[in-house]
Amino acid sequence: MAFFTTSDDRRLYYTDTGSGTPVLCLAGLTRNSRDFSFLAPHITDLRMITMDYRGRGQSEFDPDFMNYNVLRESHDAIELLDHLGLDRVAVLGTSRGGLIAMALAASHPERLSAVVLTDVGPVIETSGMAKIMDYVGRQPVAKTYDEAAQSLQQVMEPHFPGVPLCRWRQQAEIQYEQTEDGLALRYDPALRKALLDQAAAGAIPDMWMFFEALHDIPTGVIRGANSDVLGKDTLTEMHKRHPGLISVEVPDRGHVPFLDESQSLELIRKVLDAA
């Protein structure tokens, strides 16, 4: 197990496997390093680096939950790169990780060789944000991974038709921790309060400004065809503002694709080849 300590004395978990082109994989809002386990077998020729954000996965919780924000998390990512002695990396950012990637483009563009945004853009659809706020910080009702898998399949089927129960069982293990009392979140429940308080304080930056900082960086977007977070109109506008942008829609996927789909893998390779 590998950890590093941030400049504000938080102990964060990371993984660093393989060799070749370094790719920093940044997970979603409530997710963790294990979220890239479906992708990992397909990029064994690359150096795959993941990070559990503060308060997620195996990283230390932050006593000040307001530090659960994109700018602080992007600073943590830079400190991880410094810890590893890496000048430049490609970034694969899923959902929240994509927002962090855009923030990095605005603050440290020289550190980015390429960026892939997975089902996220400068605008989060209202319906998607409502769904996110409905579950963030709420402990799972399911007591076992099998129960959670069945629940996930039922809830996600409209946006992920045909995904077998065994995949949802794997996803349940990624998202939840088994305890004596049942399943528990793999993140600090205070993340919910952070989102609410930051929104109330008007602390959400203009992400279009951050996205436009990607202009000179090879960039790709993976969109789930059934996504309720990254809208088609937003993706169209992203292409207008970044003429070199390439994108793909993954059929039968919502928010977010698993990244082992053929369309996802092809786009990731294209963007990395352009770096």
Percent of the chain predicted with pLDDT > 70: 99
Residue 24 contacts residue 69 (beta carbons within 8 Å): no
For all residues of the chain together, what is the average pLDDT?
A: 96
Query: Does the predicted model carry a pTM greater than 0.85?
Result: yes
Per-residue pLDDT band at 205 (split at 50, 70, 90): confident
The pLDDT assigned to 111 comes to 98
Question: Which residues are 232's β-sheet partners?
Answer: none
Whether the bond between 256 and the residue before it is cis, its omega within 30 degrees of 0, is yes
Residue 53 contacts residue 24 (beta carbons within 8 Å): no
List b or e across 256-271, with b for residues whose CB sees 16 or more CB atoms inside 10 angstroms: bbbbebebbeebbeeb
Per-residue pLDDT averaged across 181-209, rounded?
90
Is the pLDDT at 65 greater than 70? The verdict is: yes
pLDDT in tens, 230-274: 999 999 999 999 999 999 999 999 999 999 999 999 999 999 998
Report the alpha-carbon distance of residue 95 to residue 18 in Å, rounded: 24
Percent of the chain predicted with pLDDT > 90: 92
